[in-house]
Amino acid sequence: MKLFEKHGSGLAYADFIARYANEGQAQRWRQVYEQVALTPAQRELLAAFRRSMPVLCLAGAWCGDCINQCPIFEHFAQAAPLIQVRYLDRDEHADVQNTLQINGGNRVPVVVFFSEDGHEVARYGERTLSKYRQMMRDSAGAACPTGILSAGDPLLVQVTQDWLNEFERVQWLLRLSPRLRQRHGD
């Protein structure tokens, strides 16, 4: 399957919510969107992006993990117009879901990063390390330490930084690609 072709049929953030979310779900998406706040340093980093970054996100409007993470991507795209996130509904695109399984299961959100000319660069999802650390603390308590103490930031702040780290990693991979450097003369 050529996943990059699916990017072209994906929906913009607002269109995805309008098409797939019921009113209660749409309200939850709006609430999380309003809670996401990029720091000046994060905005500066995103403004430094120079390579086009098509991003495909497999999601479900009903999915709590999607509601709690996908609004972050919209903030990134607004701060860095070279990021073009398009959303596919997991249930409507079963072929993509089968291709993007994680640990043998259907998970969302799953993000696929592409180069401007359609090469897959990376995949990431469905929860970030900070979220899994919190889940482990909640599940196992102090008997099972994660090995790293959290900075005390709210979980949404940590998850936003986790996702930004991945978007940044992909941007630098694109910027340092010999093929793309030759193409752009830089």
Q: At 57, which helix (H) or strand (E)?
A: strand 53-59
Instruction: Identify the pLDDT of residue 150.
Output: 54
Count H helices, E strands: the chain? 9, 4
Instruction: Identify the pLDDT of residue 151.
Output: 55
Q: At residue 173, what is the residue type? A: L
Q: What's the average model confidence in pLDDT over 70-83? A: 98
Q: What's the average model confidence in pLDDT over 7-14? A: 97
Instruction: Identify the pLDDT of residue 142.
Output: 62
> CA of 81: how far to CAs of 32, 65, 73, in Å?
21, 24, 11
pLDDT digits (tens, 9 = 90+) for 13-43: 999 999 999 999 999 999 999 999 999 999 9
Mean pLDDT across the chain: 93
> Total domain count for the chain?
1
pLDDT digits (tens, 9 = 90+) for 167-182: 999 999 999 999 999 9
Distance between CA atoms of 166 and 20, rounded to whole angstroms?
A: 27
- Please say if the pLDDT value at position 124 is more than 80: yes
Token pair 């599940």 is at which residue? 139
Instruction: Identify the pLDDT of residue 1.
Output: 80
The CATH number given to whatever domain includes residue 126 is 3.40.30.10
Dihedral over Cα of 115, 119, 121, 127: its sign: positive
| Residue 15 lies in domain | 3-184
pLDDT digits (tens, 9 = 90+) for 88-106: 999 999 999 999 999 999 9
- Please say if the pLDDT value at position 144 is more than 60: no
Instruction: Identify the pLDDT of residue 138.
Output: 84
Distance between CA atoms of 160 and 41, rounded to whole angstroms?
A: 13
- Please say if the pLDDT value at position 45 is more than 60: yes
